[in-house]
Amino acid sequence: MKKLKLLSIAVTLTIFYFLIKALIRSYNSVVWSKISLDYGYIALSFAFLVIGYLMLAYNWREVLLSMHQNISLSVGIWYWCISQFAKFLPGNIWFAVGRAYLTSKAGIEKHQSIISIFIESILMVLSSLFLGSLLLFRSISQINGYIAYIMIAILCVLSLHPKIIMLELGLIGRFTKIRYKIDIEYKEIFFIFLNYLIAWFIIGIGFAFFVKGIASDNIPLLSLAGIFAISWLAGFIAFIVPSGLGVRESIMAALLSSSFEFSFALIIAFAARLWWIVGELIAWPLSYAFYKLAASIKNYKVKNIGGNYFDKYNSKNPLVRLLMWMFFKRLFYFISKTGAKTIVDVGCGEGYVTAKIHKRFKVKINAYELEEQVVKKARRLHPEISFRLGSIYHIREKNNSNDLVIASEVLEHVYDVDKAINELKRVSRKYVMISVPNEPLWRLANILRFRYLKQLGNTPGHVQNFSKKEIRNILIKNFKRVEVKSAGLWTIALCEK
């Protein structure tokens, strides 16, 4: 390890020696009149960089979710950002070690974190290669350029397959003496790959704005974006050099030299490194602020929380009516699949969903609600249904006594999700159906209607926030079969014991 560290330092210093030597040798040929600072472009470039950078953090969290490893959005982004500073250490592995340590504090096993970082690295490499090649080869009119890009694109898409990734993990396992295994679908990897393409494109356009902010030459934005993607890739592959120092700058200067004198291209490359570091320094406090804000919002000192009863079921708003139609269409579809004759509805609120189920399927339903006043109102509104006072933690039903147990918009109100799910399973003979708000769409919808802005759109009483992947990951650990579907602003899951 010590020899590797010394070699890394030696290589880095050698690269910088030749780069600085080339810059000094051609210093007098630099056309300084080409430097034309445009602070508007520079400010815009940092905005794009920070957005793209935080999206890279978001994408890593998506990798974890696809591996059935849950971590909250704010924690995932914060851990990713803080671990990035270790990449300046020789060896290019310390950021991974640091992130694995941090995620272990969130309950994720270290080997799972290492696998997620490996998959992240593959996706970052393939997406930067795909995008960089596309944006650079587009300026080549020769047929060879098109053929080369098509071959690269096919290679990238094929390399995303889980079986290929498993082969690569197997090779790593031979050295680490650990048997790595992933349970991830190609479709999920491909969609995350598309997210990485978007992130690199945003960062690349930010780099293009930065170049336009310091140089007067009119170079196409897309070409500059492609140059950054390929330059970053070269620096990343040079793992022996901390953060690709010198390598990224060399490749960037070489690619920019077709539009600038090499000495001026070197100046831009060095400036781009500073631009990237400043962008990281901006993203770091933003991610920390988001982390602390999310923690403060979630820090309720309660055990079991009733809901806020916005009357969405009887709303005249056409958009709300459309959303409720989507919700009930999916809900009724799942209920019909179960063929249930006896149903328990836990956390029924004022009984609107319970009543619609009863009217549609003509089945026996026992409904439970936490708040006594709400139970009284439900009985008054729907006297044909049995409404009882009760908690999702203690359902007054015998073991395996009902065909279907429903918890519609309940789990987001409880702290102990596992205990609640186990109680639902206890009462069910075969099926459990759960619906939760689909985050972050739910919060976004609240923000768009200017509600709960201080809570970032989080509805009062929601102490849990589930994306579709997060609720799926929780349920597959508790049930034999799980089918999860989106229904507008909700996620609905049908689970089989």
pLDDT digits (tens, 9 = 90+) for 252-262: 988 998 888 87
Q: Are strands 481-487 and 428-437 parallel, antiparallel or unpaired?
A: unpaired
Residues of the chain under the 50 pLDDT cut: 1, 4, 30, 300-305
User: Contact, 297 vs 458, CB < 8 A?
Assistant: yes
The pLDDT score that the predictor gives to residue 34 is 61
Rounded to whole angstroms, how far apart are CA atoms 246 and 50?
A: 22
Measured torsion, CA atoms of residues 359, 361, 362, 364, in degrees rounded to the nearest 10? -110
Expressed in angstroms, the distance from the first to the final Cα of the chain is 50
The pLDDT score that the predictor gives to residue 316 is 80
Instruction: Give bridge partners of residue 215 from the DSSP assignment.
Output: 35
- Tokens representing 445 are 């919808």
The pLDDT score that the predictor gives to residue 211 is 94
pLDDT digits (tens, 9 = 90+) for 221-256: 899 999 999 999 998 887 666 677 778 888 998 899
The pLDDT score that the predictor gives to residue 303 is 46
**Helices 94-105 & 110-137, crossing angle to 10 degrees?**
130
318-496 domain in CATH 3.40.50.150? yes
User: Contact, 347 vs 413, CB < 8 A?
Assistant: yes
The pLDDT score that the predictor gives to residue 315 is 76
The pLDDT score that the predictor gives to residue 301 is 42
The pLDDT score that the predictor gives to residue 106 is 83
pTM of the full structure:
0.75
Residue ranges per structural domain of the chain = 2-298, 318-496
